[in-house]
């Protein structure tokens, strides 16, 4: 079992402990380290107790190295890059645009980045013999981005095509519809980009950390959990600022100073996104468990403790 997974096995089995760990791993300053520095820290993530001197090196390895391949993750798709890269894209995609083109443009950037992040941080344990993405995978990514871009711009498309002028209906399309739509598209993106894990399976481990085979059931569970966590991230990011703005618009301060609404909306979206990233990453363990009765028959004998472990991905 990879040293990163051994660490999650010993340290990340409760939600609060995972939130604490992710708050450290999402530090953007970790992006300033070179690939050579990151590779040198790999041997320090052994899963046991570490000295204070080694803590920084362990954090760097956990935030920058893929737990299946052992390779350094692409800079833009490392977990610490998610907030600084996606925040302006999320804010811009939630703006009340005047036409369809800017809505499509920002959705294209956001959905492309989400697809790249989902693909880079997938479970690749069954793909290690192939170092390049297949044509099928590339077409799947392109199709996912195209569909999610068009679907994400639907509220603006409806407003323009239907010529909506009514304030309540515009509020529905701009503030209410994006909430379930954002959650659904985030779930869809993870589910489709990582569909190969459900078709071919992922590596499962026994309690000693030894690989015992490939499980489709574990792959389905890993993808489903990650898709739910991403839906919670983007659904909450869309919901909370809309609710906050709706409440504040009723106060005298915002009724007198309507220009305050736009900057507050932008700030609240970025703030909620930043708060929700470590929470959403922590909803399910990085090293998940799957019960013996859920596994394929040929793997059940290896589950001596009643369950096996799997890498969920991110």
For the segment 157-166, what is each residue's pLDDT rounded down to a tens digit? 999 888 878 8
Of the listed ranges 93-107, 130-144, 185-199, the one predicted with least confidence: 130-144
The pLDDT of residue 137 is 85
Cβ-based neighbour number of residue 142 at 10 Å: 12
Q: What is the pTM of this model?
A: 0.91
43 confidence band (pLDDT: 50, 70, 90): low
The pLDDT of residue 85 is 96
The pLDDT of residue 45 is 53
Q: Which pLDDT tens digit goes with each residue over 220-240?
A: 999 999 999 999 999 999 999
Q: Which helix (H) or strand (E) holds 295?
A: none
Mean pLDDT for all residues in the chain: 89
The pLDDT of residue 120 is 94
Residue whose structure tokens are 């100073």: 257
The pLDDT of residue 34 is 87
User: Rounded to an integer, what distance in angstroms lies between the CA atom of residue 306 and that of residue 292?
Assistant: 5
Q: Percentage of the chain surpassing pLDDT 90?
A: 58
The pLDDT of residue 47 is 45
Region 52-80: mean pLDDT is 87
Gyration radius from the chain CA atoms: 21
Region 77-94: mean pLDDT is 95
User: Rounded to an integer, what distance in angstroms lies between the CA atom of residue 113 and that of residue 273?
Assistant: 15
User: Rounded to an integer, what distance in angstroms lies between the CA atom of residue 32 and that of residue 151?
Assistant: 35
Q: Which pLDDT tens digit goes with each residue over 103-141?
A: 999 999 999 999 999 999 999 887 755 555 678 888 999
Q: Which pLDDT tens digit goes with each residue over 271-299?
A: 999 999 999 999 999 999 999 888 888 88
The pLDDT of residue 83 is 95
The pLDDT of residue 48 is 47
Region 159-177: mean pLDDT is 87
Instruction: Report which of residues 195 and 302 the model is more confident about.
Output: 195
Instruction: Kindly give the residue spans of alpha helices, DSSP state H, lying in the chain.
Output: 3-11, 15-25, 35-40, 52-64, 79-93, 100-120, 135-152, 154-162, 167-171, 178-193, 195-200, 216-248, 252-256, 261-282, 297-300
253 confidence band (pLDDT: 50, 70, 90): confident
């Amino acid at each position: 079992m990879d040293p990163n997974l051994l660490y999650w096995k010993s340290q990340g089995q409760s939600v609060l402990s995972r939130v604490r760990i992710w708050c450290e791993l999402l530090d953007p300053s970790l992006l300033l380290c070179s690939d050579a520095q990151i590779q040198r820290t790999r041997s320090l993530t052994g899963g046991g107790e570490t000295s204070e001197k080694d803590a920084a090196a362990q954090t760097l390895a956990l935030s920058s190295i893929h737990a299946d391949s052992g390779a350094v993750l692409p800079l833009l798709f490392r977990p610490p890059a998610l907030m600084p890269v996606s925040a302006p894209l999320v804010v811009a995609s939630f703006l009340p645009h005047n036409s369809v083109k800017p809505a499509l443009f920002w959705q294209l950037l956001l959905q492309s980045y989400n697809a790249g992040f989902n693909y880079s941080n997938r479970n690749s344990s069954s793909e290690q013999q192939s170092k390049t993405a297949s044509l099928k995978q590339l077409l799947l990514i392109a199709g996912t981005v195209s569909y999610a871009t068009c679907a994400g711009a639907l509220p603006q498309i409806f407003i323009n095509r239907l010529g909506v002028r009514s304030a309540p209906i515009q509020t529905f399309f701009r503030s209410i519809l994006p909430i379930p739509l954002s959650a659904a598209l985030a779930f869809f993106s993870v589910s489709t980009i990582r569909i190969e894990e459900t078709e071919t399976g992922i590596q499962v481990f026994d309690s000693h950390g030894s690989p015992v085979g490939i499980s489709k059931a574990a792959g389905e569970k890993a993808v489903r959990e990650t898709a739910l966590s991403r839906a919670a991230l983007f659904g909450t990011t869309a919901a909370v600022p809309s609710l906050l703005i709706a409440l504040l618009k009723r106060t005298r301060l915002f009724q007198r100073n309507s220009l305050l609404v736009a900057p507050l909306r932008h700030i609240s979206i970025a703030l909620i996104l930043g708060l929700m990233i470590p929470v959403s990453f922590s909803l399910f363990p990085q090293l998940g468990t799957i019960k013996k009765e859920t596994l394929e028959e040929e793997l059940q004998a290896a589950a001596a403790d009643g369950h096996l472990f799997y890498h969920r991905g991110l």
